[in-house]
Structure 1
Amino acid sequence: MEMGPTIHDVARLANTSKSTVSRYLNGQQVKKATQEALEKAIKELNFHRNANARRLVMDKTYTIGIVIDDISNTFYSGIIKGIEEVAGKNGYNCIFLSWTSNYDNEISFLNLMYEGQVDGVIMVSFRKRSREDLQRIKEAEYPIALIGDHGEMDGIFSVDVDNAAGIAEVVSYLHRIGHREIAYISGPDTVSASKYRFKGYRQTLDSLQLEYNPDWVVESDWSNQGGYAAIERILEQPDITAVVASSDETAIGAMRRIQESGRNVPKDMSIVGFDDVTVASWVYPSLTTVRQPFRDIGMMAAEGLFRKIAGEEVELRSHLLKPRLIIRDSCGKLF
């Protein structure tokens, strides 16, 4: 069986040493002229490095595992892009695994590291994680990064959006444009963000010296149908002028029901969402919302993971990234 070109062939054609070729292939800096010669030689020879040999020499798989609770969830696409961007710069491949379709639970994927299949794992889930699972992650001796819930446990590297700050910003915005009676549609208890988004609502009402009325808070499942149903109770309250929905899907469902009731958005009632999904800018009126920095979340998690893989110090805490208020047409001024 005829063998393909080797690094010896690349070195000879590029007029350099085998060790220089090896350094370049492993991501180390070489002189610009040498780099150009190597790239030309690699292309001319159609050289592909032997991944198995590289793993044996470096004692690494050059692969990280990305464990996602539901890989079909479109919210994760931006996060995935951020992870892949950082992984590519580090010369790594990613394998993506949806634990809802493969394993009983997220924690099962730690076996990928125990078995030497990957060099590190990023676990992506906005569901609440159990205390037991978080403790196992904390005690694991392998590189792990979390995206989403960290259970407020110290000693774990995790990245998330600052959910409380996002809701605080929209409540403050509604207050600035004249609203004082502001209702809230909360999210499901199974999702960690629900707790922090409601916390942002309560704390901001207090800081602005606005009334908190428990009758103005309705739970939903973050679906269009959930928002459509949740707004019914709020519409029964005559004083409410604005609604903070804790997700865009909820806001869009609620907005439809408001319009069906004969009220105008935003003339009769203002509404805001959270997430900035694609359709938020296409509904009528376009939805004021909070944009999550999904790509940045993925990049920060991956950068932290690769520092761990390299044996560098990483601050083991929750890193919260600020979301951004996106003002569109679903809110009206009262003055």
Structure 2
Amino acid sequence: MNPTIKDVAKLANTSKSTVSRYLNGSPVKKETEEALKKAIKELNYHRNENARRLVRSKTQTIGIVVDSITNIFYPSIFRGIEEVAKEKGFNCVFYSMTSNKYKESYFQNLFFEGHVDGIIMISFSKRDKQELVEIAEAGFPAVVFGDSAGIPNIISVDVDNYYGIAELVRYLHRIGHEKIAYISGPEDAAATKCRLAGYLETIGQLGLKVNPSWIVTTDWSNEGGYHAMNQLLADGDFTAVVASNDETAIGALRAFQERGYHVPTNFSITGFDDITLASWVYPSLTTVKQPFMQMGMKAATELFRRMEHGEEYPSERHLLKPELIIRDSCRKISEPIATLK
């Protein structure tokens, strides 16, 4: 029986996809290349005519795979990706993972079947670790946008969620607040853990106490923020609230207003994201701005570098810092309480 790609991969201690990429002329690590040459020679492996027909030609196209077609942040990310792609003479094609059968590993075939030259996978939900392991081991050019599930050998781009919440807590502390509550996000959101850690650890670093009743978990919605705020008002004695996203903060504002409280006279509140509505609500919302377009540009830049250099290009996690946007929803705790006219 003639040796197969599987036999070569086993002898060279690598994956079948890496063997295919090497045979098709894509760059691989030097030590991998040497191991493959040795295995091919030892097995006397020869590609058949059908395999020769599978040699890929460049498509000048990158695939953008998303987990949702309604996420309000994605258009800014897409603009950043497309700006870099156009400079390189590439087109972008969009694919949706809204069906359960379209797992991330499914989209490896987009590359190996010659539809795209590289893929950017965008999701703000927690990712399946095994899916990302398969992607990392497959060796095709890919960048993960959002959660990297702690996989070290995969390129990923995300906002620094920890830093963003820490900035908000430190800002509130600078203007005199010591009793700071927190509205956390849903467990299935990749950012929730990092944002909560940013709150808890910064509170500790500032020497402030964490009151368990000041931490409420909800979904990232106006309604969720509304109910979370009502719960906090029933349980805690605090002066400020850090909401883990803007929509939650806007819902919390509604709860304050319905109970007759004035923001920021009675309470201060901050959000996270800087959605368009954050500057239009009353009072306008202090928040941190996610650099979505810059994140898209970074993801595309990293993808093209991987496409050019192959596995020699280092796999790193790139975190972009959000920007503190100070508006009207917070007041210095030392300021006298204004009288409503």
Q: TM-score higher than 0.5 here?
A: yes
SS at match of 1:136: helix
User: Paired residue for 2:46?
Assistant: none
| Paired letter, 1:86 | V
- Structure-to-structure mapping, 1:28-47, within 5 angstroms: none
Alignment-derived partner of residue 272 in structure 1: 270
Q: Do the aligned partners of 2:57 and 2:114 also contact (CA within 8 Å) in 1?
A: no
State whether residues 157 and 299 of structure 2, in contact with CA within 8 Å, keep that contact through their aligned partners in structure 1. Answer: yes
1:269-306 alpha-carbon deviations (Å, 9 max, x no partner): 11000000000000000000010010111111100101
- Structure 1: which amino acid aligns with 2:277? V
Counterparts of 1:92-107 in structure 2, within 5 Å, are 92-101=90-99, 103-107=101-105
Equivalent of residue 147 in structure 1, options 145, 148, 152: 145
Residue identity matched to 2:203: L
Pairing of 1:21-170 with structure 2 (within 5 A): 59-101=57-99, 103-170=101-168
**What is the Cα-based RMSD across aligned positions, in Å?**
1.6
Match of 1:332, as an amino acid? Answer: R
C-alpha contact 1:164 1:197 (8 A) present in aligned 2: yes
1:187 and 2:185 matched: yes
CA shift for structure 1 position 315: 2.7
Tell me which of 216, 219, 232 is aligned to 1:218. 216
Residue type at the aligned position of 1:323: P
Residue pair 1:66, 1:97 contacting (<8 A) in 2 also: yes
The equivalent residue for 2:34 is none
Residue 326 in structure 1 maps to residue 325 in structure 2: yes
Q: How many residues align?
A: 280
Once residues 316 and 126 of structure 2 are traced to their aligned partners in structure 1, the CA distance between those partners, rounded to angstroms, is 17
| Separation of aligned partners in 2, 1:126 and 1:314 | 25
C-alpha distance in 2 between matches for 1:128 and 1:75: 17
Supply the AA of the counterpart residue of 2:324: L
Within-5 A mapping of 1:296-311: 296-311=294-309
Q: TM-score, normalised by structure 1?
A: 0.81
Q: Give the residue type in structure 2 aligned to 1:138.
A: A
Give the residue type in structure 2 aligned to 1:318. R
Letter in 1 for 2:70: S
Per-residue deviation, residues 10-57 of structure 1 (Å, max 9, x unmatched): xxxxxxxxxxxxxxxxxxxxxxxxxxxxxxxxxxxxxxxxxxxxxx99
Native 8 Å contact 1:228 1:256 kept in 2: yes
Counterpart of 2:280? 282
User: Against the structure 1 CA distance between its residues 58 and 238, is the aligned structure 2 distance closer, same or farther, given a 3 Å change threshold?
Assistant: closer
- CA shift for structure 1 position 74: 1.2
Between 231-240 and 160-169, the greater mean CA deviation after superposition: 231-240
Query: Please, which of 221, 226, 231 is the counterpart of residue 233 of structure 1?
Result: 231
Q: 1:71·1:97 contact (CA, 8 Å) conserved in 2?
A: no
What is the CA–CA distance in structure 1 between the aligned matches of 2:75 and 2:60, rounded to whole Å? Answer: 22
After TM superposition, give the deviation of residue 58 of structure 1 in Å. Answer: 8.8
Unaligned residue ranges in structure 1 (runs of 5+): 1-55
Give the deviation of 1:101 after TM superposition. Answer: 4.7
Match of 1:17 in 2: none
Counterparts of 2:189 and 2:123, CA distance in 1:
9
The answer on whether the counterparts of 2:185 and 2:220 sit within 8 Å (CA) in structure 1 is: yes
CA contact (8 A) 1:70 1:100 kept: yes
Percentage of pairs with the same residue: 57
Q: Is the 8 Å Cα contact of residues 144 and 157 (structure 1) preserved in structure 2?
A: yes
Cα distance between partner residues in 2 of 1:57 and 1:158 = 28
Secondary structure at 1:132 match in 2: helix
- Could you report, residue by residue, the CA deviation over 1:199-256 in whole angstroms, capped at 9, with x for unpaired residues? 0000100100001111110001100000001111111245210000000000000111
Aligned 8 A contact 2:213 2:236 in 1: no
1:75 and 1:143, CA in 2 relative to 1: closer, same or farther beyond 3 A? same
Q: Secondary structure at the match of 2:195?
A: helix
Deviations 1:174-223 (A, max 9, x none): 00001000000000110110000000000100100001111110001100
Q: Please say if residues 69 and 106 of structure 1, whose CA atoms lie closer than 8 Å, have aligned partners that are also in contact.
A: no
Q: Distance in 1 between matches of 2:190 and 2:306?
A: 25
Deviations 1:85-109 (A, max 9, x none): 0000010000011210584333322
Secondary structure in structure 1 of the residue aligned to 2:332: coil
Q: Structure 2 CA distance, aligned partners of 1:57 and 1:113?
A: 12
Q: Following the alignment from structure 1 to structure 2, what is the Cα–Cα distance between the partners of residues 307 and 238?
A: 51
- After alignment, is 303-312 or 147-156 more displaced? 303-312
Equivalent-residue separation in structure 1 for 2:318 and 2:226 (angstroms): 34
Distance 1:196 1:71 in 2: 25
Per the normalisation by structure 2, the TM-score is 0.80
